[in-house]
Structure 1
Amino acid sequence: MVKVCILTAGKGSRLGNYGKIINKAILPIREKAILSHILEMFSPNYEFVIGVGYRSDDIKNYLKIAHPNLNIKFVKITNYSGTGSGPGRSLLYCKKLLQQEFFFVPCDILSNIKLKSTKSFKSNIFWCSSIKEEKTKQYLNFKHENSKIIKFVDKKTVSGKNFKSWSGLCYIKDYKIFWKSLKNEHKQIDNDYQISNGLNNLIKLKNCKIKKIIWKDLGNLENYECERKKTQKFDFSKDKEFIYFINNKVIKFSKNPKDAKNKFLKFKFYSKCYPKNVKLLKNFLYYEFVNGENFYDVSNKKLFSKLLTYLDKNLWKKSNVNKIFLKKKCLNFYKIKTFQRVNLFLKKMREIDKINYVNNLKVFRIKEILDKINWNNLYKGKPYYIHGDLQFDNIIKTENKFKLIDWRSDFDGEIKYGDIHYDFAKILGGIYLNYKEVKKNNFSVQINKNTSKLRFSKCNRYNDILRELKKFIYNKNIDFKKIEILQALIYLNMSPLHKPPFSIGLFLLAKYLLIKKL
């Protein structure tokens, strides 16, 4: 059986904050993990030997969910950081399972190459390409004559058409020579024990060839962000959550496993409106992909009225909760959390709060505005089971009904109930600001000294849908102005969680709406 070795043990230190949250091998690109793209380069009939170390459970759990039918052997790598570590050292941990010809591939490569057979491989092969001279010092470089490798230069600048930079992908045919050389050579480059330690005798004694490849190195922050921008018009993601769509599954990773667990428990408590077969595996929540239409794409007055009726009948279940206890929950969720998020935003971009005009409306410092809110009125909640993020992106119109996705984990720690005003405010927030259009980068935030101009798209048939929402809310004897205040607070709370310019737009839009409504 053909074997493929993939090392995922490293900390991903070149990826900035991403490396602190998740193993780089399962960073999403084109809606699935980098590791999934790598696995798809090879035949599913191969055996995969995967070295794990940093956040190893995340690797194992992702593969169990996304690729349950692959033949995978895991190797625990203990020395994956610090003195004496490096890809060469990590590969030695896998030696016992690789006593035959094998592929080796790093966990941060992206390529469309397909390697479904090894019949034509008569020598050791290293897939390489020409790159800019100033970048060659980042890689292992091979000098070749007519594709035959005659020497290598590791992590130094090289030039000339006879040098090619290695992608990290190779096929080791003469594995005994490779392992002996890798074990006996102890040279370190940039304080790492490199795979090049295994190549000296391999190149001297055996035939090693290069093959051309088109590839991307996603192992550093600049390259990863650049590639993401090519595949999505605007990065709407949050810093501590990642989502994947693969093999008819939706998989969500949360840095905090409690968030994933609460979403699962919320589903278990009342599953009527959600996708089937929602499951939990530590940091991962996953379920079957729901076929249907995003509600942003089909929304109209009649369908929105049906949606509200559906939610009233199937989602919003009234709860019996002590009023004093609910008041405390609303205080924490609305006021205390808002001030925490505002402080987080100001820590990042304090200068934005000094802007005096938003769309020609005079605004003040955010804490001056917040002081004008009648907080006691917001604390008078109505306890219901709620979704917690009812914007249209999270509503799927199926053939006969609706399905709700991406529900909020809790309301100030509570999974069985929340304040129904919050669900209405989320609906209002999503029709006033079309999040699907934001993801298409169809918005603008312009700042000129102390003035700003914002442009956000509303949902289709906004006026008709707004009238339906108001009518429904009035029939429920709910104060619509309260919903509007919460709508602005939602934008304010979102602002520090997203990236500029959307984060800035949310902050300024919240100030604009609060000034108009207070």
Structure 2
Amino acid sequence: MTQRIFIPTAGVGSRLRHLTSELNKSLISVADRPVISHQIDFFPDDSEFVIALGFYGDLVRDFLHLAYPTHKFIFVEIDNYRGAGSGLSRTLRQCRDFLQKPFIFLSNDTIVQTAIPENPSNWLGFSESPVSDAYRSLNVKNGVVSSINEKSHHQVGSVPYIGLAGIFDYELFWEGLEDRQTSKNSGEVSGLTNIVDKRKVLAHQFSWYDTGNLASLAHAREAIASDETLNILEKPKEAIWFVRNNVIKYSADKQFIENRVSRSQLLQKFVPQISSKTDYMFCYKKVSGEVLSKCVDLKLFKRFLEECRVFWSVTDLNGTRLNEFRSNCLNFYWTKTEKRLHQFYKKFGIKDREQIINGNQIPKLEELLGRLDWKLLSDGLPGSFHGDLHFENVLWSKTDKRFTFLDWRQDFSGNLKVGDIYYDLAKIFHGLIVSHENIINEKFKILWTEEEINFQIQRDQILVDCQKYFLAWCVSNNFDINRIYILTALIFLNIAPLHHEPYCFLLYALGKHMLAQPLNPTKQGTEQRSEGSRPKESNIIEGLNLGAGFDWKYPAWRGVDSLNGEYLSENSSLELQNDSIKFVYSSHFIEHVSDTVVTNLLQESYRCIKPGGVIRLVTPNFEQIHRALIENDIKYFSDIGFLGRPEWKLFGVDRSIENVALHWIANYQNFVTTSENIEEWEEGWYRGPPVIDKQLVREKALELDTLNFGKWVISNVPEQHFKNGGHINTFTFPKLEKMLQSAGFTEISSLDCGSSRSNAMAVFDKKPNRERVSIYVEGIKAI
């Protein structure tokens, strides 16, 4: 008889906190594969699975189709899986039509390693683990369950119920579940209790692991791990799973997956070929071999480097393509580092400061970064690239005598074909300094105070030997080891906010320490890099970013958000000489100020820009937003990544398409702040649209053109909050064209995201979810 198993995956998994912010809890990794994979593999392949979907249910469905293409799955989408009225009881009722036969109930955070009873019967699973108030418990006598205890109502001799049950008398189960008074918050237990009361229910002991909270998940990972478990450091919004003979890569970013798949074709001689994909995952057949970290010796490492020389096919660039490559390098090294450091400081509440690190007085990181010659770093070596080239991402097949590269990067600052070969060299170097295995096994120490940091990393001798050979090899092959050293330091700083404590602090301290302490290449045949020889950052200003934010920085650019403590206004002077800069850029700023302010800033920009210089304005595409509202196109707003803010519900504002569209046109905030980040809001804080009757919104949207509709919506913003930083203006291309022409600019045109007359400005467009919601308009100051 074919077994039918019910697994409810609809819930949000809030007890796992950050791990389930963008991933269903059934997909959390344990020993290189998701929890639900451990569950599916526990049953015969001809079993039938009823899967309740809810929170990120599309990811659960995609994974199961990729990993188990021949299995039979019945997917049921739950209409309400979070908030009021949600819960396991509701989920079960919605799956009732597919469970009208004996079935097994399996909680989606339960992993067991004991055989299921073969004979169809009523039974409940328990463990010999100590009873905890986190779980319900069973009273068992002579192998038969006499009753089920609610959490914290245990009796002497009770054993923990593990969320696993064989339900033979399914009619009695549904009868108990329909007693809504008792089943409202008790999930499957109300149905099971009805069976216990009326039938013999056996107690079956299992070897059990709970994955439903952070502590028990950590225990499960440690207990289930084996010598075959790989050294994979967990990353937010990413995962890689090994299921049977397949490897499945997941990312929360669609473009990430699309680019990875595209690059697999470009690198096909060196990487596995992808067999199938979805929006957020792709799959390829597992390649035979051993990761280089587990089999490397000096002879094999030398062979690996020679393979890399073949892989790194240098691309000859000139003119525009060379300038684009250098711009990509600058964005990849400078801009990304600034962004990641800001993320690190915010995430851990740390400030950049002078510190003693391992006994050395180290200045602020801002000062260290200012000493670097960013122009030199950006003049990289263009060619084919991997992007994450370290030992855990390289397989060696003794049988085939070949290397296979894994987990390649999706792009290099947006370019799929050409990256900086020096970045791959730096990734190799970073892996020789810090091995994943030693981090996972906690073979490092870090003591951190505000004034002093001390760290120590245990290193295997083979990695020390490989590093020594690597530096000598780089010198003999005319690679600049100082450049590799600096980029390696930047890599440690960049990945610091992406990892767990205390490893994240080690990465930060190591990166900062490396920037401050020169590489000693005495035995490598090169001159030692000294502090005094480092070029200082240029004071020449080439461009101005209007409305950049208070902490925005970029080499040879100035960000302007206020002048002399005052916000930009109709009277602001940009305090630059006439014809002194090449570029002015502004993104998602002008919709926050009035037409008179915009007119003044355009005139000031024209005054400051040199003849032949370019101005680029980016603002919401209000015509497209207006059209999406009229056409009720909620997918448009979903694709651009905005369907409302969490705090709206505190003010009775729902996430309807009307309110989402109005938010883009005329949002306001009822508090004064210099930051737009209010994810950690307090009660009473609000940023969102004015409250307007939805039917009236619909009528006005059809009656008025885009600009007049915008004016009408803006007129509903509460007067006392009008200047608190929200959207108070709308633009179309004709309106911007007229305003730019009035300021003196010519050759006004609307361009695509990332497409510009200046590579220096195209790089700034790369903000997530902005492309579809924005228009990009440029003008030139005639020569």
Q: Tell me if TM exceeds 0.5.
A: yes
**Structure 2: gaps (5+ residues):** 519-530, 532-783
Alignment of 1:39-188 (within 5 A): 39-115=40-116, 118-119=118-119, 121=120, 123-129=121-127, 132=130, 135-136=132-133, 138-161=134-157, 163-187=158-182
CA contact (8 A) 1:299 1:460 kept: no
CA contact (8 A) 2:238 2:250 kept: yes
CA contact (8 A) 1:41 1:113 kept: no
Distance, in Å, in 2 between the alignment partners of 1:11 and 1:503 is 27
Aligned to 1:331: 330
Distance, in Å, in 2 between the alignment partners of 1:477 and 1:45 is 59
Q: Deviations over 1:121-166 (max 9, x none)?
A: 4x42111246545x23x333333443433333333422211x3332
Worse-superposed segment, 396-405 or 226-235: 226-235
Q: Which amino acid aligns with 1:491?
A: F
Q: Which amino acid aligns with 1:169?
A: L
Cα separation, partners in 2 of 1:434 and 1:449, compared to 1, 3 Å: same
Cα separation, partners in 2 of 1:199 and 1:334, compared to 1, 3 Å: same
Alignment of 1:283-298 (within 5 A): 283-298=280-295
Cα offset, 1:290, TM superposition: 2.3
Distance, in Å, in 1 between the alignment partners of 2:464 and 2:181 is 71
Aligned to 2:258: 261
CA contact (8 A) 2:311 2:384 kept: no
**Structure 1: gaps (5+ residues):** none
Worse-superposed segment, 100-109 or 45-54: 45-54
CA contact (8 A) 1:431 1:459 kept: no
Q: Deviations over 1:299-354 (max 9, x none)?
A: 44543333233222234341536222122211111011101111111223354855
Cα separation, partners in 2 of 1:469 and 1:196, compared to 1, 3 Å: closer
Q: TM-score, normalised by structure 1?
A: 0.91
Distance, in Å, in 2 between the alignment partners of 1:499 and 1:393 is 18
CA contact (8 A) 1:296 1:459 kept: no
RMSD value over aligned CA atoms?
2.6
Cα offset, 1:377, TM superposition: 1.0
Cα separation, partners in 2 of 1:343 and 1:372, compared to 1, 3 Å: same
Aligned to 1:312: 309
Distance, in Å, in 2 between the alignment partners of 1:432 and 1:208 is 57
Cα offset, 1:413, TM superposition: 1.4
Distance, in Å, in 1 between the alignment partners of 2:205 and 2:470 is 59
Matched, 1:212 2:205: yes
Cα offset, 1:112, TM superposition: 0.6
CA contact (8 A) 1:235 1:499 kept: no
CA contact (8 A) 1:250 1:287 kept: yes
Q: Which amino acid aligns with 1:13?
A: S
Distance, in Å, in 1 between the alignment partners of 2:312 and 2:181 is 63
Q: Deviations over 1:419-464 (max 9, x none)?
A: 1111111122222333333333322223477333322245655565
Cα separation, partners in 2 of 1:465 and 1:201, compared to 1, 3 Å: closer
CA contact (8 A) 2:130 2:159 kept: no
Cα offset, 1:479, TM superposition: 2.5
SS at match of 2:371: coil
Matched, 1:389 2:388: yes
Distance, in Å, in 2 between the alignment partners of 1:463 and 1:197 is 61
CA contact (8 A) 2:210 2:220 kept: no
Aligned to 2:760: none
Q: Deviations over 1:148-190 (max 9, x none)?
A: 33333333422211x333211111111112212212434356x
Aligned to 1:380: 379
Cα separation, partners in 2 of 1:466 and 1:152, compared to 1, 3 Å: closer
CA contact (8 A) 1:45 1:70 kept: yes
Q: Percent of aligned pairs with the same residue?
A: 28
Aligned to 2:496: 495
Distance, in Å, in 2 between the alignment partners of 1:230 and 1:378 is 45
Distance, in Å, in 2 between the alignment partners of 1:462 and 1:206 is 63
CA contact (8 A) 2:329 2:380 kept: yes
Cα separation, partners in 2 of 1:338 and 1:113, compared to 1, 3 Å: same
Cα offset, 1:109, TM superposition: 0.3
SS at match of 1:74: strand
Distance, in Å, in 2 between the alignment partners of 1:29 and 1:283 is 20
CA contact (8 A) 1:356 1:364 kept: yes
Cα separation, partners in 2 of 1:464 and 1:152, compared to 1, 3 Å: closer
Cα separation, partners in 2 of 1:266 and 1:460, compared to 1, 3 Å: farther
Aligned to 1:203: 196
Worse-superposed segment, 417-426 or 358-367: 358-367
Distance, in Å, in 2 between the alignment partners of 1:395 and 1:235 is 13
Worse-superposed segment, 410-419 or 321-330: 321-330
CA contact (8 A) 2:35 2:111 kept: yes
Q: Deviations over 1:6-34 (max 9, x none)?
A: 11111111210122121111111122211
Distance, in Å, in 1 between the alignment partners of 2:150 and 2:467 is 63
Distance, in Å, in 2 between the alignment partners of 1:184 and 1:464 is 70
Larger radius of gyration: 2
Distance, in Å, in 2 between the alignment partners of 1:185 and 1:300 is 65
SS at match of 2:82: coil
Alignment of 1:453-472 (within 5 A): 453-458=454-459, 460-462=461-463, 465-466=466-467, 468-472=469-473
Aligned length: 510
Distance, in Å, in 2 between the alignment partners of 1:169 and 1:344 is 41
SS at match of 1:187: helix
Cα offset, 1:37, TM superposition: 1.4
CA contact (8 A) 1:229 1:235 kept: no
Worse-superposed segment, 375-384 or 458-467: 458-467
Distance, in Å, in 1 between the alignment partners of 2:463 and 2:173 is 66
Distance, in Å, in 2 between the alignment partners of 1:130 and 1:486 is 52
Distance, in Å, in 1 between the alignment partners of 2:172 and 2:18 is 39
Cα offset, 1:100, TM superposition: 1.4
Cα offset, 1:225, TM superposition: 2.8
SS at match of 1:367: helix
Q: Which amino acid aligns with 2:451?
A: N
Worse-superposed segment, 481-490 or 232-241: 232-241
Q: Deviations over 1:198-250 (max 9, x none)?
A: 24532332222322233222112222133334456987211222222221222
Alignment of 1:402-441 (within 5 A): 402-441=403-442
CA contact (8 A) 1:236 1:499 kept: no
CA contact (8 A) 1:109 1:217 kept: yes
Cα separation, partners in 2 of 1:338 and 1:157, compared to 1, 3 Å: same
CA contact (8 A) 1:264 1:279 kept: no
Cα offset, 1:88, TM superposition: 1.8
CA contact (8 A) 1:61 1:281 kept: yes
Worse-superposed segment, 172-181 or 21-30: 172-181
Cα offset, 1:465, TM superposition: 3.9
Cα offset, 1:477, TM superposition: 4.2
Distance, in Å, in 2 between the alignment partners of 1:230 and 1:298 is 25
Aligned to 2:512: 511
Higher-RCO chain (CA-CA 8 Å, sequence separation at least 6): 1
SS at match of 1:485: helix
Cα separation, partners in 2 of 1:352 and 1:432, compared to 1, 3 Å: farther
